[in-house]
Structure 1
Amino acid sequence: MMIQHIVMFKFKEEANGKSKQENLLEAKERMLKLKDEIKQVVSLDVYFNDEQAVKDNYDYILVSTFQTMEDLNQYQVHPSHVAFGQYIAPLRESRVCIDYKIKD
């Protein structure tokens, strides 16, 4: 069994002097770097809500996979992940998350 970690963010229209689109792109770039920095990450992808989709959908989704819950917990406290959390906090309106077991 593996662990799927899914996080969704609703971004502010503007934050840190940048538009929502600029912040989405930078957040994706920063998140994708964690794949190489944190050894516990098996896979990690980021997607945006489609421009033609309902506007009250969440804007950003992170889909990541870990071997075990312990690996996910180590990822959560890794300095690179903590730094990302501090970076994204002022950019977002809300966050939702789910962690669940999947078959490998």
Structure 2
Amino acid sequence: MIKHIVMWKLKESAEGNDKKTNAEKIKLGLEALKDKIPQIQGIEVGINNNPSNAYDVVLYSEFKSFEDLDIYQNHAEHLKVAGFVGAVKEDRTCVDYEV
């Protein structure tokens, strides 16, 4: 099992929205991928409620293999969401590990 965890720090405003609105759009977009990309075994997206923390949104997802993770990352539906995230993020960090 592969765990794919990503965290984003969002810009205060971008794409005509404030940070909170963009965080909600990211959450909805990523969670909708579960029904579009069969390689996703599990997905959870959280919006940070701790104002002292550096990151605003976290993605926790699971895949059977690194090959499935690669399929997900290059899937057209994922790339649409990633394009929006790229436009509204200030910073990103990611960890992929096998259990």
Structure 1 and Structure 2 fold alike (TM over 0.5): yes
Percent identity of the aligned residues? Answer: 38
Q: What CA RMSD, in Å, does the superposition of the two structures yield over aligned residues?
A: 1.0
- 1:31-50 C-alpha deviation (Å, 9 max, x unpaired): 10001100000000001112
In structure 1, what residue type is equivalent to 2:7?
Answer: M
Instruction: State the partner residue of 1:36.
Output: 35
In structure 1, runs of 5+ residues without a counterpart are none
Counterparts of 1:87 and 1:14 in 2: how far apart (Å)? 13
Which structure has the larger Rg over C-alpha atoms? 1
Counterparts of 1:91 and 1:16 in 2: how far apart (Å)? 7
Which residue of 74, 81, 84 corresponds with 1:84?
Answer: 81
Counterparts of 1:84 and 1:17 in 2: how far apart (Å)? 16
What is the CA-CA distance between 1:88 and the residue it aligns to? Answer: 1.2
In structure 2, what residue type is equivalent to 1:54?
Answer: S
TM-score between the two structures when normalised by the length of structure 2: 0.95
Counterparts of 2:31 and 2:97 in 1: how far apart (Å)? 21
In structure 2, what residue type is equivalent to 1:72?
Answer: L
In structure 2, runs of 5+ residues without a counterpart are none
What is the CA-CA distance between 1:16 and the residue it aligns to? Answer: 1.0
**Matched residue SS, 1:41:** coil
1:3-18 equivalences under 5 Å are 3-18=2-17
**Matched residue SS, 2:55:** coil
Counterparts of 2:78 and 2:29 in 1: how far apart (Å)? 10
What number of residue pairs does the alignment pair up? 99
Counterparts of 1:49 and 1:22 in 2: how far apart (Å)? 13
- 1:39-65 C-alpha deviation (Å, 9 max, x unpaired): 0000000011124x414x200000000
**Matched residue SS, 1:81:** helix
1:1-104 equivalences under 5 Å are 2-51=1-50, 53-55=51-53, 57-102=54-99
